Amino acid sequence: GQLSDALLQLRDTVNPDRIVIETSGSAFPATLAMEVNRVSSERKGEFVLDGVVAVIDVENWEGYEDTSYTAKLQARYTDLIVFNKWELVSERRFDICLDRVGDLDVQTAWVKSDKGRVDRDVLLGIDGALLAKMADSTEAKDALRKAEHAHSHQSEVEVLSVSLAGDADADAVVVDSAVFSAFLQSSPKDEIYRIKGTVRFASDQIPADSSGEVTAAAAAAAAAAVSDAPPVQTYILNWAFGRWTLTPSPSETTTAARLTLILARYEAAKWKKKLEAGQLLRAASSPATASLQVDIIG
């Protein structure tokens, strides 16, 4: 399938030593892991599954806490659980989070990150022992079939695809920085889980990230730059549970904004209306020359 084609393309182009596959928070990892094992068997060991790692955002875990059958399967087919952002909460809150994982009735190993970092030797070399042991068992095949059936009928998140582009004959359209900053600051963590994508701003109107430092400094530098500095700058946005970063992107794009919003269940329709009303994302000037497209995915 698509994963097989992607693995072969990576092998033939960059020939990496390791490949890390990140899935969305609701993904069932055994599906991808078994696909990697299938490709490995067909390609005589060209690809070897190292292991499956799950990350739990301790600070925001209540936003997506789940002890359903799917969650139990996800935990069972995970070789290592990493607790992230545990430093930002009380010891009691972390213990509660750990108890909820215990409620899944699994014996998966776990570690705490160090401010988002985990030693490479901990993450690599896991050897996928649990999944390899059960890959050919009747129990594993039944579990995989049930989980895939559940996900085909009920997703745990909803996804919006958003694009703001200028007309072909218009000048480069940029995003209204003040409106977009207000959107990032006010987005509720229990309704919007992630916002990813690219956004283009005027070089002297770049908003700060959630720390108030990184992109504010970049904006100041841009304003003081030489006269031949580019009038616009594209940034890569990564927003998660109320925190975000804006990283300068070297790539050129004619689209003012291209975003993916991952939302809680039943929230997509409401946020689609808000976006289409121009309350959250719009062009900085001459809005009539820009077109906004918002689609519910899946």
In this prediction, residue 116 carries a pLDDT of 86
- Residue whose C-alpha is closest to residue 76's, from 125, 157, 142: 142
In this prediction, residue 61 carries a pLDDT of 75
In this prediction, residue 152 carries a pLDDT of 46
In this prediction, residue 289 carries a pLDDT of 66
Largest Cα span, the chain: 68
In this prediction, residue 154 carries a pLDDT of 46
Cα separations in angstroms, 224 against 66, 209, 221, 234: 49, 20, 5, 18
Q: How far, in whole angstroms, is CA 150 from its chain's centroid? A: 22
Euclidean distance between CA atoms 294 and 83, whole angstroms: 34
Sorted by sequence, the CB contacts under 8 Å of residue 71 that are 6+ apart come out as 104
- Residue whose C-alpha is closest to residue 296's, from 257, 267, 256: 267
Work out whether the CA dihedral 261, 262, 263, 266 comes out positive or negative: positive
In this prediction, residue 99 carries a pLDDT of 86
Tokens linked to 15: 């020939």
In this prediction, residue 1 carries a pLDDT of 60
- Per-residue burial over 125-139, b if 16 or more Cβ lie within 10 Å, else e, is ebebebbeebbeeee
Q: What are the average pLDDT values for consecutive 10-residue runs of the chain, which has 298 residues?
A: 82 85 65 78 80 85 58 71 91 88 78 86 64 52 52 63 74 86 91 89 84 64 55 86 84 82 89 92 76 86
Query: Is residue 230 left, alpha or beta, with left meaning phi > 0 and alpha meaning psi from -120 to 50?
Result: beta
